[in-house]
Amino acid sequence: MTPPDIFENVQAVVKANVYFDGNVVSHSILFPDGSRKTLGLIYPGVYKFETDAPERMQITAGQCRARLAGEKDFRQHGAGGSFDVPGKSSFEIAVDSGIAQYVCSFLPV
């Protein structure tokens, strides 16, 4: 499922989430029902993230590769693709060139 081009009736958190010396940057948006998503950019490199809650990463532009904890190989994801990450886990995400854009949805436990 591809996210919409516009999220309406949300609040945006002004302060950015900045990781890996600015190579991964996102902003949080808060929905009236209490749910939250982040919208972000990933510059070239390989980055490892720990998860608390389950997440769905939807790639909205560019290309990346992702490897979930316990997996041997990276899987390719392009615009329109997505992958789910379990809670209390981790994943690696790699961008070889350009910038990957994403929407991260925090899923119910």
Q: Which CATH class is domain 12-106?
A: mainly beta
CA 82 to mean position of chain CA atoms: 9
Task: Report, as an integer, the average pLDDT of 7-19.
Answer: 97
Taking Cα atoms as reference points, which of 80, 84, 96, 22 lies closest to residue 53? 84
pLDDT over 80 (residue 91)? yes
pTM of the model: 0.94
Mean per-residue pLDDT of the chain: 96
Detail the DSSP E strand segments found in 9-89. 11-12, 17-19, 24-30, 36-42, 45-50, 55-61, 63-68, 75-78, 82-85
